[in-house]
Amino acid sequence: MQISPSILSADFANLEHELDAIRSADWAHVDVMDNHFVPNLTLGLPVVEALLKVSPVPIDCHLMIENPDRWAPPYAEAGAKSVTFHVEAANDPVTLAREIRAQGARASMALKPGTPWEPYAELLPEVDMVLVMTVEPGFGGQAFMADMMPKVAAVRESVRRHGGEVWIQVDGGVSASTIEQCADAGADVFVAGSAVYGADDAAANIARLRDLVRGHTHP
Ligand code: DX5
Ligand code: ZN
């Protein structure tokens, strides 16, 4: 069970300090948005390179961008330990995942809420993680979509059948009141933006989320 706080809800003027505040987390989740794949613009490779130099935890890049086939591998090459691309945007997800892995990073594929799981299940041998979005990507602080839990369960079932060690991440509206249903459905990596950075003590918020999912295990 791993916690990956999203710095989208952090103070962008003090990112080194904000990363230090989540040193008890497993990852730092960095949302890259290009204003095309999603209607919002955040940061890109030069900022991620700067974050990599100061982050006390490995960086989990969530790329909400067009043409990840071209733009995603450089994040792995720069040193991000996990790189997630959206299946809706990738032209050749198999080649892309292989390129990310060849750079020494974990390769991960993300699905928007409206994207069904079944057509992508055959890609499982190529990835290390599946991200099931629990909000429409683009903004922090949105309401959790509990109706995505059956999709999380379907991914968990595919992973079980496939037999490999593939993590299942949820992102969007994950908080103390929603994290347990995610774990029950089969998720094991939890992204939380506003629930970690929204109230002052980020470390206490991480500890609380961890406590809530402690003991949940997935065969
Ligand atoms: C949304 C981003 C999320 C966002 C989550 O498109 O992918 O990572 O930061 O924020 P919360 O946890 O506030 O919903
Ligand atoms: Zn994200």
The rounded mean pLDDT for the chain is 97
Cβ atoms within 10 Å, residue 98: 13
pLDDT at 219: 60
- Residue 110, strand partner residues: 86, 131
Cβ-Cβ contacts under 8 Å for 118 (sequence gap 6 or more): 154
Cβ-Cβ contacts under 8 Å for 102 (sequence gap 6 or more): none
Residues of the chain with pLDDT under 70: 219
State the burial class of residue 122 (Cβ atoms within 10 Å of its Cβ: 0-12, 13-18, 19+). Answer: exposed
Active site residue 171: yes
Q: Which of 194, 197, 209 to mutate to test the pocket of ligand 1 (most atoms within 8 A of CB)?
A: 194
Nearest atom in ligand 1 to the alpha carbon of residue 141 is 13
Nearest atom in ligand 1 to the alpha carbon of residue 144 is 14
Domains of the chain and any CATH numbers: 2-213 (3.20.20.70)
Q: Cα(181)–Cα(184) distance, rounded to whole angstroms?
A: 5
Q: Cα(209)–Cα(219) distance, rounded to whole angstroms?
A: 21
Pocket (CB within 6 angstroms of ligand 1): 6, 8-9, 29, 31, 62, 135, 137-142, 171-174, 191-195
